[in-house]
Amino acid sequence: MTNDSWWSDAVVYQVYLRSFADGDGDGVGDLAGLRTRLGHLVDLGVDALWLNPCYVSPQRDHGYDIADYFAIDPTYGTTDDLVDLVAEAHRRGLRVLLDLVPNHCSTEHPWFREALGAPVGSQQRERFVLRDGRGPGGALPPNNWQSVFGGPAWTRLADGQWYLHSFDASQPDFNWRDASVRAYFEDVLRFWFGLGVDGFRIDVAHGLVVAEHLPDLPADGAVDRHPMWDQPEVHEIYRTWRRIAQEYRPDPKYFIGELWVDGTERLRPYLAPDELHQAFCFDLLVQPWDADRLAGAVRSGLATADELGAPAAWTLNNHDVHRVVSRYGQVQDLSAPDPQDLLAAARRTGPVDLAVGAARARAAVMLLLALPGSVYLYQGEELGLPEVLDLPDDVRQDPIWVRSGGRELGRDGCRVPLPWRADAPRLGFSDPTGAAPWLPAPDWFAGYAVDRQARDDGSFLALYRRLVRGRREVFAPGAPLRWVDHPDPAVLAFTRGAGLCLVNVGGDDLPLAPELEQAVVARSGTAGGLVRDSAVWIDTARVPGGLRSVAWDVPSGAGAPARA
Ligand code: NOJ
């Protein structure tokens, strides 16, 4: 598989805007704040940034509930601010991706309001999935579908009909069988592409179309294709979008899908050459810290990428899961995750050993950045931020927390505003004379502040900068991964070009042969050798005699697929 487009081996930095930097003192991060801190991304060496949704929204699900797809929410700035940000980012060598939310909008979107005022059967109602209920007086929902955020996927309107919402009740699903919905989103794409945006991350990209007659799910949930997701008609939509993306020459626009579908065959049509460019590979993110499980996820991600001809997009963190330092610092759950609920598995609670979690997270990012394909980083992971698990109940805002009646913590703990300056009020996130940050950062966040880490060569930030900036020199872009047969089953070992990556996943402390030790170009910890929960990158061109001369049993030419 070859692909020399900019995104095929890019590092993309995810900006959760409301928590990145507050430029106007209202306690919420914004475009002005991001613009002044763009240097942080440049210093890190990333190629692009992806902005979570920042369009006009009542913020019930922090921007994933959109009331106007053609304007920036005043909390974040203006559409002109976005245009300026894109121009500035481009000047500094960064591409800009926005987040597109086509599955649902906000109950405050003018179309939904119009639908509420329009008669049953009208064109205005056709844009949403509105149905009569079942049972006496239609008092029961039209079917038994459940919302991803918990509870029924239907809410009843005052006039008696029900509307479908695969997420929160504030997020009515569009009816993608309606032509006006399709035309509307084509306009949305052209609007933002016209302003210079380089591409979109597509939210719930497998969700748009639902099964035509809205069939109930069988009681045991066993279906070949869930009627809410992954319907074949979605592909025609993406083919149209791809044609639009290709209109931009010489630099076509780009799409990456948030796709939760079962296996390579279901993914195949989404990544056909005339649909989306990439899909997130979440399989690695949901694995515990275990050599076989991690190797398995890498192997299957690479096999899928090869088979479908679309470079993998790896990630360990995002705004929907607990931060990796905390996940890896827990007792690892080696039972097979329930495929229905992979995200919930990445939001487990339980005691956390931060030192262990941090060591593992540092090693894991060395694995990630050595892999072929692109890597998506989530803001704050470059600081090694742990999940904030003990936010006071009354500040939590996530609909998952609200809809589960507090049984599930949800996602607020990975969305706490970033600490920029250890000694500044509000840790430099926002102006001390303005409103309090929308979520409070704990005092201990000071220890993770950017300014403190920038002065410390052993910090997370220093490691991330070295790795992101140096990875293309060590692992030649486009070079395939070849597993190396290491005698210790806890060690993941592979080469790409002249680069060798070794990760000790929970094994015993191991020595490194002297000829390897002197060719180490990056390491996750400070100790020499390959200690438990650490990783090293080695330049094999500096190993006298090459890898074959090394003291462990490497089969001919570091090329054998030992972990098959
Ligand atoms: C997936 C997004 O990543 C998540 O944050 C959001 O709540 C849901 N989609 C609904 O839009």
Is 342 a residue whose pLDDT tops 80? Answer: no
Q: Which two tokens stand for residue 554?
A: 């490497």
Q: Which residue has the tokens 């390579």?
A: 264
Provide, rounded to the nearest whole percent, the portion of the chain with pLDDT above 70.
96
Residue 2 to residue 466: CA distance in whole angstroms? 26
**Interval between CA 55 and ligand 1 midpoint (Å):** 14
Count other Cβ atoms within 10 Å, centred on residue 333.
13
Q: Do the beta carbons of residue 74 and residue 21 sit within 8 Å?
A: no
Q: Which fold has domain 110-164?
A: Oligo-1,6-glucosidase; domain 2 (3.90.400)
Domain 6-103+178-467, CATH homologous superfamily name and number: Glycosidases (3.20.20.80)
Question: Residue 520: which H helix or E strand, with range?
Answer: strand 520-523
Percent of residues in the chain assigned helix, strand, coil, to nearest 5: 35, 15, 50
Q: Do the beta carbons of residue 12 and residue 377 sit within 8 Å?
A: yes
The tens digit of pLDDT for each residue in 444-473 reads 999 999 999 999 999 999 999 999 999 999
For the chain, what is the mean pLDDT? 95
**Interval between CA 64 and ligand 1 midpoint (Å):** 6
Structural domain boundaries of the chain? 6-103+178-467, 110-164, 479-549
Backbone CA torsion sign across 192, 193, 197, 201: positive
Is 213 a residue whose pLDDT tops 70? Answer: yes
**Interval between CA 61 and ligand 1 midpoint (Å):** 8
> For the domain bounded by 479-549, which CATH number is listed?
2.60.40.1180
The tens digit of pLDDT for each residue in 508-561 reads 999 999 999 999 999 999 999 999 999 999 999 999 988 888 866 444 444 333
CA-angle at 147, arms to 142 and 149, nearest 5°:
160
Atom in ligand 1 nearest the alpha carbon of residue 64: 11
Strands (DSSP E) contained in 455-498 are 481-483, 491-496
**Radius of gyration (C-alpha) of the chain in whole angstroms:** 24
Q: For residue 13, list its beta bridge partners.
A: 49, 377
Per-position b or e across 226-247, b if 16+ CB within 10 A of its CB: bbbbbbeebbebbebbbebbee
Backbone CA torsion sign across 339, 341, 347, 350: negative
In one letter, which amino acid is 524? S
Count other Cβ atoms within 10 Å, centred on residue 248.
15
The whole-angstrom distance between residue 458's C-alpha and the CA centroid of its chain comes to 26
Point out the residues that are catalytic: 203, 247
- What is the pTM for the complete model shown? 0.96
User: Ligand 1: residues whose CB is within 6 Å?
Assistant: 61, 64, 101, 167, 203-204, 258, 319-320
Residue from 61, 200, 402, 408 to probe ligand 1 pocket by mutation (most atoms less than 8 Å from CB): 61
The tens digit of pLDDT for each residue in 236-289 reads 999 999 999 999 999 999 999 999 998 999 999 999 999 999 999 999 999 999
3-state secondary structure of 199: strand
Residue from 203, 206, 315, 398 to probe ligand 1 pocket by mutation (most atoms less than 8 Å from CB): 203
Strands (DSSP E) contained in 371-510 are 374-378, 481-483, 491-496, 499-504
